[in-house]
Amino acid sequence: MSSSSNYYKLHCLILKTITYPETFLLNNLISTYHKLGNFAYAHSVFDHIPQPNLFSWNAILSIYLKLGRLSQMQQIFDLMPFRDGASWNLAISGYANYGSGNDAIGVYKLMLKDAAMNLNQITFSTMLILCSNCRWMDLGRQIHGQILKFGFGSYVFVGSPLLDMYAKLRLIYDAKRYYDEMPERNVVMCNTMIVGVMRCGMVEESKRLFHGLKERDSISWTTMISGLMQNGMEREVVDMFREIRLAGFTMDRFTFGSVLTACGSLLALGEGKQIHAYVLRTDHKDNVFVGSALIDMYAKCKSI
């Protein structure tokens, strides 16, 4: 018997045996139906809660966000007798995720006006990603100012999308200034900064950042490899690949794709064959992306 059938039976049992089920219990039913994808049942449960609490309202708001029914999401949001940070963030992200950027800004501005105490890292992160995707430079700078005003400037969860926004908008010196002022940086922020400077062709600066990292992960290495390749530094790509192997980091398809492309550009058949042999010992041996890079490498080296 499926888990959904069991939950339907449990729901029926609750209705038969409990005259006035507690809101807590009904909220759990809403969450369960949400997870099962049965949104109609979830809303039906919500409609039968005599006094829905904040969790109830946020749960049903989340359902309409997930369905992309923005007008119904807004109706629920407007009906809410009270809201918390999650309520505001759900409405903002709902509009942002479904391409209604101006509506997301409208909710954000209303939040600034009526519920600034509920602003949090998720609010600012969502708005920064929106500005980045829509290339809204002026708004992005305004939000940066508001981040500082409300005391979120040192939060790394906000810092990474802020750096990414500046980098994507080619405002690399704004990104560097903020990065240098951060009292604490995690590896995600460092990787974001490296991507940004690489995107602007600042290879030496990216090397300085990379070699200054206290900790590196696989993304740090892949970011450097890809960036060096994009900037035409094929020999350095091959050399860094050796460093990755010595350091014992896991490599992904993009790492292999970049280094194989570099070998093809350098006509380095011997090194390309060595990398091919290494690929065969990994989970990427059947990857289409890696396979295409291998074929391209052999073709450029005239070894068909």
For 274-292, give one letter per residue: b (16+ CB within 10 A) or e: ebbebbeeeebeebeebbe
Secondary structure in 3-state letters for 50-116: CCCCHHHHHHHHHHHHHHCCHHHHHHHHHHCCCCCHHHHHHHHHHHHHCCCHHHHHHHHHHHHHHCH
- Looking at per-residue pLDDT, the higher value among 169 and 9 belongs to 169
pLDDT of residue 291: 92
Between the alpha carbon of residue 4 and those of residues 11, 34, 238, the distances in Å are 10, 11, 53
Segment 9-51, tens digit of pLDDT = 665 556 556 656 677 777 877 887 777 777 887 888 888 888 8
C-alpha closest to that of 275 among 247, 232, 228, 240:
240
C-alpha–C-alpha distance, residues 43 and 222, integer Å: 45
Signed CA dihedral, 132, 137, 139, 140: sign only: positive
C-alpha–C-alpha distance, residues 96 and 300, integer Å: 44
Instruction: Kindly indicate the confidence band of residue 6, based on its pLDDT and cuts at 50, 70 and 90.
Output: low
DSSP E strands, the chain: none
Contacts of 94 (CB under 8 A, 6+ apart): 64, 65, 70, 73, 104
Segment 47-56, tens digit of pLDDT = 888 889 999 9
42 in Cβ contact with 30 (< 8 Å): yes
C-alpha closest to that of 135 among 182, 109, 179, 167:
167
Question: Residue 100 above 70 pLDDT?
Answer: yes
Percent of the chain's residues with pLDDT above 70 = 93
pLDDT of residue 247: 84
CA atoms within 13 A on the CB side of 39: 11
C-alpha–C-alpha distance, residues 158 and 142, integer Å: 14
pLDDT of residue 1: 41
pLDDT of residue 14: 60
pTM of the model: 0.80
Average pLDDT rounded to a whole number, residues 263-286: 91
CA atoms within 13 A on the CB side of 10: 13
> What average pLDDT does the structure give for the chain?
88
pLDDT of residue 10: 61
C-alpha–C-alpha distance, residues 194 and 239, integer Å: 18
